[in-house]
Amino acid sequence: MRGPLAAALALALVAPGSAAAAPELVPVGQFASPVGLAAPPRDPSRLFVVERGGTVRLVRDGAVAPAPFADLSEQVLAGGEQGLLGMAFPPDYAASGLAYVFLTAKSPPGELQIRELQRSADPDRAIPGPGRLLLAVPHPDAANHNGGQLAFGPDGFLYAATGDGGGANDPGDDAADTTSLLGKILRIDPRDGAAQPPNPFGNQVWAYGLRNPWRFSFDRATGDLVIGDVGQGVKEEIDWSPAAAGGGRGVDFGWRCWEGTIPTPSDPSNRNSPPLCPNPPAGTQSPAAERDHDADGFCAIVGGFVVRDPGVPSLAGRYLYGDNCHSGLESVVLGDPAAPAATGLSVPALASFGEDACGRIYTASLGGAVSRLQEGAPSPCSFPPEPGLAPPPGGTPAGVTADTRAPLLRVAWRGTQRLRRLRLAVRADEDCAVTVRARRFRTRRRALKAGVRETVRLRPTRRGARRLRRALVRDGRITVTVRLAARDAAGNVRLRRVRLGVTR
C-alpha cells in the first residue's frame, strides 16, 4: 500500500484523536454571579473573574486564589443588570500595575462609574479601597441598560459601553444624542477620563445609536470593533465596524428608530404595531447579523470574540457569541451573508465571554460556571519580547538562576514644589524602564541605566491644570500622589508611591 492513502492511514495511527476533536468547554471554576472576564496583556497565567456583587477573583495557573484581587462591594449597587460589570487592563499593566473597572454605584444611585485600581506590592492583590474615579455618567431613571464592557483598543485608549438609560423605546432619546454619554461606545484617555482626538464629537463619544451594548470586543488580528447590542422586543443584533473603515468612529447604529434591520415597533410587546419613528433616518449602519426573539429564541444577546486561538481551528476567524435566554452558542463570519451556525456548545444563563493574553476564549454563566473553549489539548502560548526588554540571546544560560528580583528603585525630591512642573530624581540598581504617573498629570516614561540618576519632570494636562489651580486657590496647598513602576528585562516590577506637597 503506497501513496496518499497510506500516508493518510499512517497519520491517523500516529494521532488517532486529533481529527475527531471538537470544540468543548472545559471547567475553570465556580464563582458568585460572574459577569465579566479579563486578563492582563502578555501574562499567560492570570485570568480575572468579575463578580456582580463587587469582587474580582483571580485564577492563576488554573487555580482560584483564596482572596479576591479587589473588593468594591461597598461602592457597588448590585442586582439584576446592576453591579460590578467589567474590567480591563492597559497594555503597560506589567509596569504600571493599573487596572480599570466599570460599575453601577450606590452613590449617586445607579451612576455608571469607571474606576482605576492600583496593584499592590502583592501581584495578586489590588491596593484596598474604591480606587480613583475616572469617569462618572449619571443614570438615574432606570436600573437596566447600563452597558458595562471595558476594553483597550488597538490605539491604547480605553473604550467603554453604556446603555441608553433604560425604559421602553429610550424615552430620553439618549442613544441618538451625541452630547449624551448614554447608549454609546465611549473612547477616553485612561489618565484623566477625557476625550482624545480623533473622537468625532469633541467629547468621549466614539459611536452611538446603541440600546444596551452589553459586550463588545476588538478582533486581536484586525482591530475590528464588534458589538453585541441587546434588542427590545423583536431583534438582537451584532454590529461590526472594520478598523479599515474607522473602527466605529462616528457610526450611528440606529437605535431608537431601528431595531436590527426593522423600524422599531412603537409597542415593544407587539412587533406588528406602527413604527416608533414614522420616517426612520437614513445613514445608520445595519447590523452584520441579527437574531429573532420568536424564530430563534433569543432575548438578550451576549457579544463574544472573533476566535484567533490556534488551538480551536474549527472556529478560526469566526465570531463567537451567545444569548442569556438561548443557551446554544453560535458563530458567524463577519461580512459573509451566510447564516449563523450552531457550535454544539451550550451555556445556560450566559453572562459574558472573555479572552486571555494567549487568545483563548472563556465563557461565564450567571449560575457560577466559568469555562475555557478548547479543541483537544490546550493551545501553547508564548510572546515575542517587548522592544527594549528583550531577554538575553538564547535565554537564561544553563546553570544560571533566572532573574526574579525586581529593580531597587530610589526616588528623591525637594520639599514643596510648584504646580507648573514637578521634579523627581529617580535611580535604579539595574537597567530598567520606569513609568511615572500622577492624577491630572501627563504620564512619563524613562529608560534607566543602572546607578544613573534621571530627573523626571511632570506637567499637568490642560484640564488637570485648571482643576489643580482651583484647588490651590481654595486650599493654598495640595498633595499630589505620584506612582512609579520600574520593570527590568526579565519582567520583574517594582512599585513605589510618593506624595509631593504642591503650592502655586
Which tens digit of pLDDT belongs to each residue from 351-376? 999 999 999 999 999 999 999 999 98
Angle CA 136–139–145, to nearest 5: 115
Q: End-to-end CA distance of the chain, in Å? A: 89
8 Å CB contact between 407 and 424? no
For residue 45, pLDDT over 50 is answered with yes
Strands ordered across the beta sheet of 98-104: 84-88, 98-104, 112-118, 132-137
pLDDT value at position 250?
A: 97
User: Which DSSP state fits 313?
Assistant: G
Closest CA to 321 of 294, 295, 288: 288
Dmax (CA) of the chain: 92
pLDDT value at position 13?
A: 33
pTM for the complete prediction?
Answer: 0.77
Whole-angstrom distance, CA of residue 492 vs CA of residue 500? 26
> What is the tens place of the pLDDT at every residue in 428-464?
888 888 889 888 888 888 888 888 889 999 988 888 8
Cell numbers linked to 224: 475590528
Whole-angstrom distance, CA of residue 217 vs CA of residue 145? 18
> What is the tens place of the pLDDT at every residue in 97-130?
999 999 999 999 999 999 999 999 899 999 999 9
Domains observed in the chain? 23-374 (2.120.10.30), 409-503 (2.60.40.2550)
Closest CA to 218 of 280, 150, 163: 150
